[in-house]
């Protein structure tokens, strides 16, 4: 059996939902369908999830948000009309959102509850459509199915006991329509995954149900070797390993949520990224192992929004415990770090910049200077990371030389280089303003 997840653009309109129906109907193995909230219908459109966040914020501030609620309901109304569904479903959806709005005591939980309504109501609507078309389909709620998650608002993580509970869904005869993006804590609170988290729900279900394949339907034919907004018509990737996909999605390959791979990877379930608008295209397979075809690099990813905290102290290499003490300060300040390239007397701690508020920054620097008696502490902002990824890199001589030459040819200064011993990826830090030039040049060098 297959678990098939359909992302926001695949369920953004009645026309798209008809495609989903045809895709599911064309293969009897497609037994579990995980859906997002209605996403963008065109490039400037607003996702329902963003409409819902605006709705929740306005409601918390003003105690009413009529226009925002109407904007949300209008999305479902349009879908229901296109699919010629009974008006009743739209009334039910409106009532559901009104009930959610009544629960505004705890602002954070409120936001999660409103956001989750996007997928929950879409799943109910889609199930209704399947039934109207004469297909045995049923909406399943994550609570009833036993999708248990940690109680971290907006940042849930699946709890291991979910897997056995969810396995019971295999006994259902009907096609299951399951809302993505949220689960319930053991105390019964609704909690959402991070943004884009329906991918995670799908992967959890695929792992729990021991599916033969997890299909992730989106709006591109495949995963591309580089961001198509940077390079026109880049090479399509037909096959990737979990490790390679993990590295690429970490550094900005938005096609698949970076946390979604873990459940599939642990359960050894292959993943296929496919296009709802072109379902006959083979898509990209993500598997445990692939035959290496001689190309050292499969993809080049890049992401901005990083900063580097540079710490210098003479004879740092002789001081036992320096690294631990430094990282402990980060831990105590609630900051997670990404990389720590180091020299003999220096250590760089690279962070996602959005974590560091102004007062946190001042305290952090002060603590490093006073507690570790450093010679110099400096913050470098606007750093972008470029990841060059490929399992075959460790069997190929000269990959680094080729990449460095390409960056040099683009006249870009490299601020940092990091290569883990696994050699699945090589990381370069550059100024954000230079990242596109550098990526184009690297792409040209390896794929041009």
Residue ranges in contact with ligand ASP by CB under 6 A: 7-8, 36-37, 47, 49, 118, 180-181, 195-199
Beta carbon nearer to ligand ASP, 36 or 302: 36
Report helix, strand or coil for 225.
coil
Query: Considering only CA atoms, which of 283, 310, 279, 369 is closest in space to residue 26?
Result: 279
How many CB atoms lie under 10 A from the CB of residue 378? 12
In Å, how far are 153, 194, 361 from 157, measured between CA atoms? 10, 9, 28
The torsion angles phi and psi of 83, rounded to 5 degrees, stand at -85, 5
- CB-CB contact of 410 with 230 (8 Å): no
Kindly state the smallest distance separating residue 202's Cβ from ligand ASP, in Å.
9
Beta carbon nearer to ligand ASP, 13 or 425: 13
Kindly state the smallest distance separating residue 122's Cβ from ligand ASP, in Å.
9
Angle, helix 66-82 to helix 88-101, in steps of 10 degrees: 150
Burial class (CB in 10 A: 0-12, 13-18, 19+), 72: buried
Report helix, strand or coil for 245.
helix
Beta carbon nearer to ligand ASP, 76 or 181: 181
Kindly state the smallest distance separating residue 53's Cβ from ligand ASP, in Å.
9
Kindly state the smallest distance separating residue 415's Cβ from ligand ASP, in Å.
31
Beta carbon nearer to ligand ASP, 155 or 340: 155
Strand partners, 434: none
Kindly state the smallest distance separating residue 179's Cβ from ligand ASP, in Å.
10
Query: Considering only CA atoms, which of 198, 295, 156 is closest in space to residue 4?
Result: 198
Query: Considering only CA atoms, which of 61, 93, 57, 60 is closest in space to residue 74?
Result: 93
Beta carbon nearer to ligand ASP, 53 or 372: 53
Angle, helix 88-101 to helix 107-132, in steps of 10 degrees: 170
Kindly state the smallest distance separating residue 180's Cβ from ligand ASP, in Å.
6
Q: How many CA atoms lie within 13 A of 259 on its CB side?
A: 14
Kindly state the smallest distance separating residue 38's Cβ from ligand ASP, in Å.
9
Beta carbon nearer to ligand ASP, 118 or 252: 118
Beta carbon nearer to ligand ASP, 176 or 383: 176
Kindly state the smallest distance separating residue 23's Cβ from ligand ASP, in Å.
18
Beta carbon nearer to ligand ASP, 145 or 442: 145
Kindly state the smallest distance separating residue 34's Cβ from ligand ASP, in Å.
9
189's CB contacts (< 8 A; 6+ apart) are 109, 151
Beta carbon nearer to ligand ASP, 69 or 388: 69
Q: How far apart are CA 286 and CA 52, in angstroms?
A: 33
- CB-CB contact of 119 with 190 (8 Å): no
């Amino acid at each position: 059996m297959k678990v098939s997840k359909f992302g926001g653009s695949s369920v953004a309109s009645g026309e798209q939902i008809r495609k989903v129906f045809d895709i599911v109907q064309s293969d009897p193995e497609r037994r579990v369908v995980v859906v997002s909230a209605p996403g963008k219908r065109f490039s400037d459109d607003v996702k329902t999830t963003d409409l819902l966040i605006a709705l929740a914020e306005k409601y918390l501030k003003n105690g009413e948000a009529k226009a925002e609620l109407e904007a949300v309901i209008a999305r479902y109304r349009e879908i229901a009309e296109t699919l010629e569904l009974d008006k009743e479903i739209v009334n039910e959806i409106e009532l559901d959102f009104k009930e959610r709005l009544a629960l505004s005591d705890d602002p954070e939980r409120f936001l999660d509850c409103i956001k989750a309504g996007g997928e929950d109501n879409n799943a109910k609507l889609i199930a209704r459509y399947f039934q109207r078309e004469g297909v045995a389909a049923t909406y399943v709620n994550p609570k009833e199915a036993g999708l248990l998650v940690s109680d971290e608002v907006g940042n849930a993580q699946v709890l291991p006991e979910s897997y056995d509970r969810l396995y019971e869904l295999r006994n259902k005869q009907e096609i299951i329509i399951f809302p993505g993006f949220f689960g319930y804590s053991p105390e019964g609170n609704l909690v959402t995954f991070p943004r884009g988290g329906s991918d995670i729900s799908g992967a959890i279900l695929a792992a729990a149900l021991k599916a033969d394949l997890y299909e992730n339907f989106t709006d591109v034919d495949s995963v591309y070797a580089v961001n198509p907004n940077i390079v026109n018509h880049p090479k399509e990737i037909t096959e990737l390993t979990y490790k390679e996909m993990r590295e690429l999605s970490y550094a900005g390959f938005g096609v698949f949520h970076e946390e979604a791979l873990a459940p599939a990877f642990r359960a050894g379930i292959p993943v296929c990224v496919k296009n709802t608008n072109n379902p006959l295209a083979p898509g990209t397979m993500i598997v445990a192992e692939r035959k290496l075809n001689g190309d050292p690099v499969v993809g080049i990813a890049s992401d901005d929004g990083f900063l580097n905290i540079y710490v210098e102290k003479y004879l740092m290499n002789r001081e036992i415990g320096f690294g631990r003490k430094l990282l402990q300060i980060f831990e105590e300040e609630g900051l997670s770090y990404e990389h720590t390239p180091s020299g003999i007397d220096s250590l760089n701690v690279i962070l996602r910049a959005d974590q560091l508020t102004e007062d946190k920054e001042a305290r952090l620097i002060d603590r490093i200077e006073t507690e570790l008696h450093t010679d110099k502490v400096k913050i470098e902002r606007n750093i972008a990371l470029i990841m060059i990824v490929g399992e075959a890199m460790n069997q190929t001589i000269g990959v680094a030389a080729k990449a460095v030459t390409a960056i040099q040819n683009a006249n870009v200064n490299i601020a940092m280089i990091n290569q883990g011993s696994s050699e699945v990826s090589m990381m370069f830090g550059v100024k954000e303003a230079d990242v596109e030039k550098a990526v184009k040049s690297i792409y040209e060098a390896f794929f041009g």
